[in-house]
Structure 1
Amino acid sequence: MAKWGEGDPRWIVEDRPDATNVNNWHWTEKNAGPWSQDRIKELFKDVEVKADNAEIRISEVEKLVGEASANNRKGKLIFFYEWDIVLKWNGKLKDGTDRSFSGKIKIPNLSEENDVSELDIQISVKDEDEEGLQLKKIMFSSGKDLVRSQLSKYISSLKEEFSKGMILPKKDEVKPDSVKTLTSGFNRKINMEPIVSHDVKQTGLKLDTSTIKQTHKFQCTAQEFYDALTRIEMVTAFTRSHVKLDPVKGGVFELFGGNIIGKFEELVPAKKIVKQWRYKQWPQGHYSNVTISIDQKSDHTEVSLVQTGVPSGETDVTKNNWQRYYWDAMKQAFGFGAFFP
């Protein structure tokens, strides 16, 4: 079996003059934050809001906080963006007193997890008299439509701009336009298989628990596997849902729409992850202890999981959920397919 860099083209970088990411196998990332800020400010600079009975313009971006990135893994482009935006607007009624009014538009969560059509867009006006409220009403209809249209342009141009150069030429000359483009949300949420809580057995006040032990082989480096469980953009990619993650000792995490929560106890890069872990339908306050050991071999990485404190009636389903929603999902998202069954 080939060792790292000896015979397996996915790991050979010498064949390219720039020695980078042959066959798009490794996870690569570009920071799209500064570009995104410029693009969003451009899209909302002195833009007319079309209305029959008013003259209204979105003047500028007042606040823009967040981040964006483009990622490539095995020929798949995955885009992450999360922005908190505040815009300024001003206008007057055509048949009014010729007074000018001003207000703000707030978009608190523009992200790949939320479709533009479902965004929470908040409209306010500084002076809420009769004319001001009438302008605010116009902004709720025509203004919101314009905001959604401009944000859609941002998302489209983000994907177009950062697709360039992310898909590198392969040795078999596969064209970049044949590669699928994804977002982390995949337009659907994943819910882990429900665990029937009435199967939990208790003896007095003591919960009857069991231990799960699993060993799997992955086609990646130890650091890549560790990153896949500790970098929020990678965890978002394979869980296909909103993620809360603070990968430090004592940091908490929340996955799969809050179905899985816990706290990190120990983190050793490329070596080990220890955490408290619970499924939300387990008895209140009960956590299991999960230790994930990562061992890089000559041609693969071996991962061992030991989970203690699993409610006995839920052992089999928990095993299946690790396989389906972690290991299989990681292989599919990042190309970590194992060399061995």
Structure 2
Amino acid sequence: MAMSMPASTANWHWKNKNVTSWARAWFERELTTISIDGEGSENVSVTSVRDVEGDVELGQRKSKLITIYDCKVQLEWSGTASDGTSVKGKLTVPEVSHEITLDRLSDYIYEWSLQTESSVAVDALYAFAKARIPPALEAKFAEFPVAIIDTHGKDLTVSAEPSRTGTPVSTLAAPTHATNSGAAASTAKPVPAKKVAVNTSEIVKDAMFMAAAEDLYSLLTDESRIPSWTRSAAQSIPQPSSSYSLFGGGVKGKYISLVPGKEIKQTWSLQSPVWPPEHEATLTITLNQSSDSTTVTFTLDGVPKGMEDEVGRNLEGY
């Protein structure tokens, strides 16, 4: 009598799935949600994804899912300058890859071009686009490998239990071993990752918004409003000890304390690029309202050494 291969054995072998077509559609859908307002009437947005070159695959080996991709992404962007001029340009990111996004082997490179005739107002908007679009793109690029696994992981993994979604890229648990015929299902839990000592730094970023502190506090904590600026699913109950999830699960943690309109303190851990096991930073957001604006200070304490530049850029985008 033929017997099916146990999950623990089936998942040991190397398997690949090409998801290039899906990836191109993902980039076209997700990157064009980026839209950023500046002071006054200034704004910029990604208007189209002109081309995505390269292959995208999901591989499985020894019960681990591995994203394999290296893409060249060509975009068109547009905006409105402070004097009302409509501005257009192109942007190429020569390499969006597992090695940059997850392994952090190098920084992203951006190749810009301006199609609108130069002027003081146009040049100011061009500088605004160069400063604000890259952090927003990098936040999306960080979501990409998580989305690959969430969407296609179940097609490669032979599991003895129901499939799970939203699993971080580098911490995907091996499926429970299949039991012998007639035996009770295993209730053993995976051994948690060992917490390691981490040398850390503190990052502080300031931003000024022409908005009331109460409104900004709501935008940062209200589950129904957060997607308006993260452009992705969020979970948030603004109460001490409650968990939250941003950027489709790319950032997770718990609220520590909240003072409406004044301060938000929360634990903060990145799922991509993955932080050391069980490591959490503490993010403190303070809101100081003046007569016509609110200054927001983001203090992230506990950033692993060597990741300060990348996390700082992402925090600016956040």
Short-chain TM bin: 0.3 to 0.5
TM-score, normalization by structure 1: 0.43
Query: What TM-score results when the alignment is normalised by the length of structure 2?
Result: 0.46
Asked which structure has the greater CA Rg, the reply is 1
